[in-house]
Amino acid sequence: MNVTLQIWRQEGPDVPGSFKTYEVAGISEEMSFLEVLDVLNERLVTQGEEPVAFDHDCREGICGSCGVMIDGQAHGPQLGTATCQLHMRKFESGSTITVEPWRAAGFPLVKDLVVDRSSFDRIIEAGGYITVDTGSAPDANLTPVPKPAADIAFDAAACIGCGACVAACPNSAANLFTAAKISHLNLLPQGQAERWARTENMVEVMEEYFGSCTNHGECEKACPKSISIDFIAIMNADYLKAKVKNRRLVAQ
């Protein structure tokens, strides 16, 4: 099949960018979208044009490195799928595909389709962990975790940190990412000790970099792991509690 790619090219953060159009002919529908970019890059290098920079690594939808806007959708038209797992059979031969980087103040552009997502690391550093020094853990089966709680915590923990939620959100909000990370720990018994401080700190660092949630639900659809916006509601509830809770009371 043949496709026309309209790709955002930008040398660096301080130079203006623009779309450039490339015809890519003779590809197979078994190929992944990133493999099409590989083919394009091979041809560009041969023709003497600098290849398109894009982030990618595991190519099995788990590392969260890849991610571009494809035809105005984060990770492209197939829901619940990271860019690397998107295959060309989802496109018609002859179609024009627009490819743009994530755009958000919290994700400043580096080059072409590459953005800097280190703001996500700052959110985790603000409290996205359970304090347990190596060696100090009790036996793993000491604390039973009801299966429904373990399952829902896992649903939240499935987040791959790709940033699609921010990219898709009309407000560039990172509430789905932050809520998933908070909920993963807040829903487990192990996470209770730091629950309120964690929620408060992570939400506030998030708001330094990202917009606010107005409940469009666009993030949930863009999420390659289909993480539910229910977690945002859980976070909102916990945030208020974090502000009013008497943290000296043990019963949480």
Partner 1 sequence: MTLQLDAKVPPGAIEDKWDNHKFSVRLVNPANKRKFKILIVGTGLAGASAAASLAELGYDVEVFTFHDSPRRAHSIAAQGGINAAKNYKNDGDSVYRLFYDTVKGGDYRSREANVYRLAHESLNIIDQATAQGVPFAREYGGLLDNRSFGGAQVARTFYARGQTGQQLLLGAYQAMARQVAAGTVKLHTRSEMLDIVVKEGRAVGIVARDLISGAITNHSGHAVVLATGGYSNVFFLSTNAMACNVSAIWRAHRKGAGFANPSFTQIHPTCIPASDEFQSKLTLMSESLRNDGRIWVPSRIGDDRPASQIPKEERDYFLERMYPAFGNLVPRDVASRAVKRIVDEGKGVGPLRNGVYLDFHDAIEREGRQVIQERYENLFEMYQRITDEDPYEVPMRIYPAPHYTMGGLWVDYNLMTTIPGLYAIGEANFSDHGANRLGASALMQGLADGYFILPTTIGDYLAGFLGQPPVPTDDTAFGDAGQEVRDRVDRFMSTRGSRTVDWFHKELGKIMLEYCGMSRSEPGLNKALSEIPALYEEFKTDVRILGTAGGLNQTLERAGRVEDFFELAQAMCVDALHREESCGGHFREESQTEEGEALRWDDDFAHVAVWEWTGDPAKPELNKEPLTFEAVNLSTRSYK
Partner 2 sequence: MESPVSTTTEQRRVPWPLAFYRSAVGKKWVMALTGIGIIFFVLAHMVGNWKIFLPDVAGVPDIDIYAEALRELLVPFLPAHVALWILRTGLIVAFLLHIHAAYALTLMNSRARPEPYQGPRTYVAANYASRTMRWSGVIFAAFLLFHLADLTWGIQPMAPETWARGEVYANFIATFSRAPVTAFYVIAMVVLGLHLYHGAWSMFQSLGINHPRFNAVRRSFAIGLAVLVTVGNAIMPLAVYFGFVE
Is 85 near partner 2 (CB under 8 A)? no
Contacts of partner 1 in 124-143 (CB under 8 A): 124-126, 128-141, 143
Give me the DSSP letters along 222-244.
H-TT---THHHHHHHHHHHHHHH
Question: What six digits make up the tokens of 102?
Answer: 């994530």
Binding segment (CB under 8 A) for partner 2, from list 29-37, 43-51, 81-89, 213-221: 213-221
Partner from partner 2, partner 1, none contacting 195, C-beta within 5 to 8 A by type? none
Is 75 near partner 1 (CB under 8 A)? no
Residue whose entry in the numeric block shows the structure tokens 């560009």: 44
Is 194 near partner 2 (CB under 8 A)? no
Is 39 near partner 1 (CB under 8 A)? yes
Question: What six digits make up the tokens of 137?
Answer: 């853990």
Give me the DSSP letters along 94-144.
T-EEEEE---BTTB-EEETTEE--HHHHHHHHTT-S----TT----GGGS-
Spatial separation of the C-alpha atoms in residues 231 and 50, rounded to whole Å: 42
Using H for helix, E for strand and C for coil, what is the string for 46-67? HHCCCCCCCCCCCCCCCCCCCC
Residue 41 or 216: the one with the smaller Cβ distance to partner 1 is: 41
Residue 95 or 215: the one with the smaller Cβ distance to partner 2 is: 215
Minimum distance from residue 210 beta carbon to partner 2 (Å): 5
Partner from partner 2, partner 1, none contacting 7, C-beta within 5 to 8 A by type? none
Residues contributing to the site for partner 2 (CB under 8 A): 6, 8, 19, 69, 71-73, 77, 79, 98, 100, 103-106, 108, 116, 118-119, 122, 170-173, 175, 201, 203-205, 207-218, 220-222, 229-230, 232-240, 243-244
